[in-house]
Chain A
């Protein structure tokens, strides 16, 4: 049976892993390659690297990061953050990343989803959606959660699927860094709207939060701070989930 995936996310700034609380107040938490190896040995099912600095600077650091990580890691990994063009995405995929995650690029140029999916296959294209609750619905934000778009998150998820996205990485800006749990309402709405896997993100603070989001049908759960701060080990969360009847890889 297909297992539910737990995916640590490493926010990378100038080659170092950091974790933002509500996308601000960054604090340093370690070396990406070292952390990647550690998480893999602890039972991470996949890893996501989000280059939070890349929107403004250094493309080459994220490419060399992909190369270095691919050398040591024997589980899949995704690279995202600040991918501004199809060429950037292509370069990252050619340097060892299994998937790229695009957010601002996908909104600004939706055809980039089609282009990347036809060249690399849908499995390599993750569309990341940062959503914020506003007037009874969820709005898509771009540029690292700073810029509203007026686009409805659920409708956008459907369009991304139609254009060839292989997975949706859905982050609740409201929950990110709060430790209050995933936004189950948002996640459920997107799960009901698309038939590709959905990775829930933003707000994980305890093993119970993973259980809740898997129970409503999320295919994978992404988390950062809970692991980086050492509050819970991945294995610990997986053992809890297994006890609760969730299929996990242990």
Chain B
């Protein structure tokens, strides 16, 4: 079951590929493999515009995969690329989720460390995950959604959707590959969605 990892050029893919290996999944990082993938992960740490330019080059492949109900997971910046836009840059996102990424204010930025998943909704992705489980965050912008697609929320000055879902597309604002056993479980739940 190959997983396509979208190389946004700005991410360190090592920890994610290590996590996939630990879970027994194989992966491809070439963008031509997106069409054959059973699941697609858009990782991301780094600058929004640079990543958005890369992602827009393969936008049609991604939209095609989403239309075929292939599970797609955006992690951190990868999640923000699924929004319409970001205060961090000028480029447009994929617009899968209605809303934009905005900068935290009135709190220490970046939001670094372990924070809780609250108000968990029942979903395949949250199977076996307890309310208030800790996951690891590192980000300066958070998703401000204009639709009710939150599967879990997290509070840091404001409350935001730390897990969002629309059909087979998920966004995680935290790093599951850095979130201990809880993170691995979430990643595994996502990968189990692949056909």
User: A residues bordering B, Cβ < 8 Å?
Assistant: 1-3, 5, 40, 45, 70-71, 74-76, 93-96, 98, 118, 120-124, 166-167, 195-197, 219-220, 249
Contact = CB atoms under 8 A, between A and B. Distances in A.
Contact of A76 (B10, B18, B116, B136): B136
Nearest to B111: A2
Interface of chain A, main secondary structure: loop
B14 A70 contact: yes
A124 B177 CA distance: 16
B44 to A, nearest CB: 10
Given A120-B46, A249-B114, A74 B180 contact: yes
Contacts of A123: 45, 110, 112, 138-140
B179 A74 contact: yes
Contacts of A121: 10, 45-47
A197 B178 contact: no
B108 A1 contact: no
Interface residues of B, number: 34
Given A74-B177, A121-B46, A166 B110 contact: yes
Interface of B: 10, 12, 14-15, 18-19, 22, 45-47, 108-116, 134, 136, 138-140, 155-156, 175, 177-181, 183-184
B113 A220 contact: yes
Given A1-B155, A120-B45, A124-B45, 19 more contacts: A1-B115, A2-B111, A3-B115, A45-B113, A45-B114, A74-B180, A75-B136, A94-B14, A95-B14, A96-B15, A98-B12, A118-B47, A121-B46, A123-B110, A123-B140, A124-B12, A196-B109, A197-B110, A249-B134
9 contacts: A1-B115, A1-B116, A3-B115, A75-B178, A75-B179, A76-B178, A121-B10, A123-B140, A197-B108
Nearest to A167: B112
- Going nearest first, the 3 A-B pairs with the smallest beta carbon separation are A96-B14, A249-B134, A123-B138
B180 A40 contact: yes
A195 B110 CA distance: 9
Contacts of B138: 76, 98, 123
B102 to A, nearest CB: 17
A98 B178 contact: yes
B177 to A, nearest CB: 7
A117 to B, nearest CB: 10
A195 B109 contact: yes
